[in-house]
Structure formats: C-alpha cells, structure tokens
Chain A
Amino acid sequence: MHTAEKLSSPYLPEPATIQKITPLTETEKLFLISLDSGRSLGHVPGQFVEVSLFGIGEGPISISSPPSPDNTFELGIRAAGNLTRALHNLKVGDRIGIRGPFGNGFPVETLMGKDLLFVAGGIGLVPLRSLIKYSLEHRAAFGRIMILFGARSPKERLFTSELAEWAGRKDVEFLETVDRADDSWKGNVGVITTLFKKITIDPRKTAVLIVGPPVMYKYVLLEVKVKDVPKSNVWLSLERRMKCGLGKCGHCQINNYYVCQDGPVFAYPQIEDKEEAL
C-alpha cells in the first residue's frame, strides 16, 4: 500500500531574480534580488535567508538592506565556498531560490530612543548595514548614531560610498580603521578596538550592536566593559552553519540554542555563560 502525494514543503525555495549586481571588493558583491511572486520579504534587520542554486546547494546569507515595502532586498555575498562562488558567476536576470526570512533579527523596538553604537568588523558590516540604514531612515527615533568599522586593509572596505556618506553626515559619528594600511590610506591604522578610545558614550542610554568575525567578539566586549555599558544593552549576531533554518538539522547549535531560530542576534546575557558561543 503505497501512497504518493505532493507535500507542502518548507524546504521548497521560492523563485527570485537578480536585478542588479554591484561589486564591493575583489571578493564581495552586492546583489539586488526580487521575489518573483511580488510579495515583500517582510524581514527585520538582522535576519537571514537561505539562498539556493539548484544543483549547487543552499546556504544562509544575511540580509543587507533595511525592510522594504516592495519585493526587493539586498544580499552582500563573499565568494568563499561552492555556492557563493557560483552566485558570483551569475548575471542580472538570472534566477535563484530563496527561503525565509529566518531568525530573530535585532530588537528594533527595544532600541528605539537609545544611542546606537554599531561595531562592524569586516564582512560584519553586511548584516549590520540593514539596521544602520533602518536607523538612518528613522533618524528621529534614535539618539546618537555611532558607527565603528574595521577592515583588514583599505581594499577590503565594503560599501565605500556609503561609508563616505556616513562620515559626512552631521547626525552620524563614524570612525573607521584598517588593520594594515597601504600607501593610499590616510586614516586610522589598528584593530577595531583602538577606535573605542576615540569615542565617549553615555553607558546608561547606549545600545551596542556588534557583528564581526568570530575572533573579534571577545576583544570588543572587553572595550564595551571598559565603557561601563550594561551587558543587557549589548547585542551580537553570531555566524554558524544554518543549514535548514528550521531548528532541525542541528548544524548551527550553540549549546542548547539553535542559531537559526533563537539567533542569529543574541543579547549578551543570553550567551555569556554559553561555553560554545564566543
């Protein structure tokens, strides 16, 4: 007795089309994607989608644009593995698959009225950009907006025209540094933690939002501690292998958390005692 039937599957991606490709660096490109159904993705800053190319595979990619009423969104993608290298070979008009959005995103409501201190290390700017742009679109809803950005070298700086725009705005305090300078570089040199000495914050009303490579968090958290910011006002977005996005496949677990559902954004007190988090 066999029964064959069509399932409604959470693993079936929805069709989407690449509308625009903007090179960011030698290894990163920004893709403007539209959902073919015309629906809005309906994401919160800090969430991610599963991007798929049939025949290659599927992987989690953070959403780089703020929420939008139309059916488009942006993904900043580094060519690092099979899937992302294949994505880099695509052209405008090519089709990809999308599932999501997944994860919790940043607690936007909680952040309202607070001073925001963004700390972005390298490619960490890609997910953080969604919230940065959101806060700039709703500028009056937030206090000070401070952005600290660190790249390994000048040529690895992402979104350079936006960095210049932020640096030029009077209502944004923008500081950046590179680990290693080249001849063209006139700015700060040193790891991202060196920027903390250059800012003064009110620890009682500042929310700190940190995204960067795994190695960066513990050093940034030491600086945040020096600034006396309560731990409950610190949020971090963590990278893991979010394979299914549905809290099932197990690859993204940090102790008992499934990063794809309970994260990727965590308040610091949620993870400070988690052996596997930082």
Chain B
Amino acid sequence: MEELVIGKDAIVPWLSELLASGREVIGVKRHLQRYRFEQLEKPEEAVLDYDVTLQSPKKFIFPPRENLVTFTGGKGSTPQTETTERVIFGVHPYDIHAVSLLDDVFKDGQPDPYYLQQRARTLLVGVDVLKPSLNAFCGSMGTATVDSGFDLMLTPIEDGYFVRVGSEAGKKILPQKYIKQPTDAQRAQFHREQEKAQVRFALNRVEAPVKELPALLEKNQHHPVWEELEKRCLGCGSCNLVCPTCYCFDVKDEVSLDLSSGVRYRTWDGCLLKDFTRVASGEVFRESRANRNRHRFFRKGKYMIEKYHKPGCVGCGRCTTHCLADINPVEVFNAIAQKEVL
C-alpha cells in the first residue's frame, strides 16, 4: 500500500480543491456539543479531531428513506435514482469497518443495486481517532485501526498526517503539490500511533476476544442477562437507529394526492421495536424485550461474524450513549464472559 505524508496546513486547501471539483464533500461538523457528518460548505468547517459523531456515515450510502419503485395508475417502474459523486472526509476506523460489513451484506445473494450504485460513487477518507469517546470500545472489537476499506487513510503524526492510499480513486483526489514521501522517522511514528490506538480504548474492555464471542453467546442463550435487559430496555429502538451496522428496513407505499401515483420506499427499521416481527394474523414472534435484545446481541456478536467473518459490532459506543436505560454492550458481553470464567 502506497504511503505518503501531507502537512496539517494542507487540509483546508485540499478540501477547497475537492469542493471546487463539483463533488459533494461530507465532513464532520461541530453541532452544539456534538459532532455530525454533514455536507461541507466551507473547508474550514471540517473537524478531524472529533470523538464520535451522532450518526455514522451510513446515512449517505444507505439513506434513512430511499425510493425503490415509483408507480402511476397501477404501473410500476424503477425510479430515476440520483447518485452523487461524494467524498466522505474524516471517517473513523470503526465506521470504515462498519461500511465494509454493509458492503458485504448488500453484495451478498441478490445484490442491492440502490446501495451499490451510491457506494460505487462514494470515496472514504478516513482519519485515526485521537480523542476516544466515553463509550467507545473498538479496541476490543478489532476496529480501533483499519487496514482496508478506505480510499485514503490519514493518521495524525507530529507535523501532519501519514497517508495510506487504499485505491486509485483515492490517490487521484490527493492534492499533488502538498504530498511528500514519508521519512523513516515518520513511518516509525505512524507505527507507534497505530499501536497507541489499540490502548486508547482500554477504559472499556470486553473480557473475551471477538473471535470467541459466537461460541460464548451460543452457550448463553438462557443467561440471566437477557432477563435483566427485559426489565431495563424500553424497546425504543434508539440503539438500532444510531448503529453503524444496522441495516434492517421496512418497505412502505406512499400515495400522492391523486390517489393513483406514488412511491414504494424503504425506511430504516429496528429489531428492538415490538412490531418488527408482527405478521398479519397478529402474531409477534419476538414478544419480550429479552428476546429482542438477545436477537440484537446475537446478530452483532454471532450471526454476522459467522456469515461475513467481520464483527457485527464495531465498538463505536453510540448505542450506549443514546440508550435511555444505560444498556451497554460491554457490560452485556462481559456479563456472559465472566460467567464463563467462573
């Protein structure tokens, strides 16, 4: 993988070039006391040393609402889908891992053309984490750093950023006049930074290696932790809403005022919501919040790992931050892991 260096001062002129190129540039902006991915208007708005964003960049590839089919008078057709040449700038390693997983999901079996079309026109410029968020535990999920899935990856070093080039398209958007070859000292510093990233999240640790989670969960389908979650969880689905690897969706129709034309669209859905499994007869197949929580944690810690060989949870900690009942995946996994130790 090609390695380069870019100065700190070059970020703003680089973003100016990208904005001038006609691409949509998504960056991290400060919003009140938090950060969020948004379209950049000015290069100075971009923040690279944020802790975590409210939502992952998933929303720009797999939008919360997306038209699947348009119809008029009972006749359906595929909508004119608008895709945008887009650069998402400043994506953390755990979110890059999450996008890689979504790529696998939407390519698997019958490929999803809506996702894949926008994904093909999206470049990811990553940046390593300097300030971990309070609830992040990506050190335990193997997602504190990343070696693939990005177009460019920036690692802060003393006098700028160490740049790893992940794709030709990524290389093409680099500002040629600002890039240099790294010195041996800069390479050494990059490797030290990557090692530091692993311990940066040591505050929140899952007491089991991620590759052992599937077997651990399998043995603990009836662990008391699920009943505890039954009591605590409100079934609000906030965890699903902020999760960078949740991709379940519902499909709904919307009719125009002429009562004949309209759109069939998909919209994010969440397995913690009671109606998620409801069928027309009224049967709900995951009635209890214990079962719904178990399903969510099994998806993240078992089913996805077994199917795609990637962790279904990337340890971003967003679900913990947004949970009204303080449910924390680190505590849930540890409740199970510790029982195993005893």
Contact residues of A with B, CB < 8 Å? 1-13, 15, 52, 54-59, 78, 80-81, 83-84, 95, 97, 213-214, 239-241, 243-244, 246-251, 253-256, 261, 275-276
Contact = CB atoms under 8 A, between A and B. Distances in A.
Contacts of B307: 256
B250 A8 contact: no
Given A251-B250, A275-B294, 9 more contacts: A3-B83, A7-B113, A7-B114, A11-B251, A13-B69, A15-B75, A248-B105, A249-B250, A261-B109
Contacts of B79: 7
B213 to A, nearest CB: 14
Interface string B22-39: 111000000000000000
B76 A97 contact: yes
Given A256-B306, A261-B109, A214 B283 contact: yes
B262 A1 contact: no
B277 interface: yes
A57 B78 contact: no
Contacts of B278: 241
Nearest to B279: A241
A2 B276 CA distance: 34
Contacts of A54: 69, 71, 74-76, 253, 262, 264
Contacts, number: 149
Contacts of A12: 68-69, 76-78
Contacts of B76: 12-13, 54, 97
Interface residues of B, number: 61
Contacts of B262: 54-55
Contacts of A81: 280
A81 B283 CA distance: 12
B312 to A, nearest CB: 11
A120 B77 CA distance: 39
A78 to B, nearest CB: 8
Nearest to A56: B253
Contact of B302 (A58, A246, A256): A256
Contacts of B276: 241, 250-251
Interface string B284-321: 01100001001100100011001100000000000000
Nearest to B81: A7
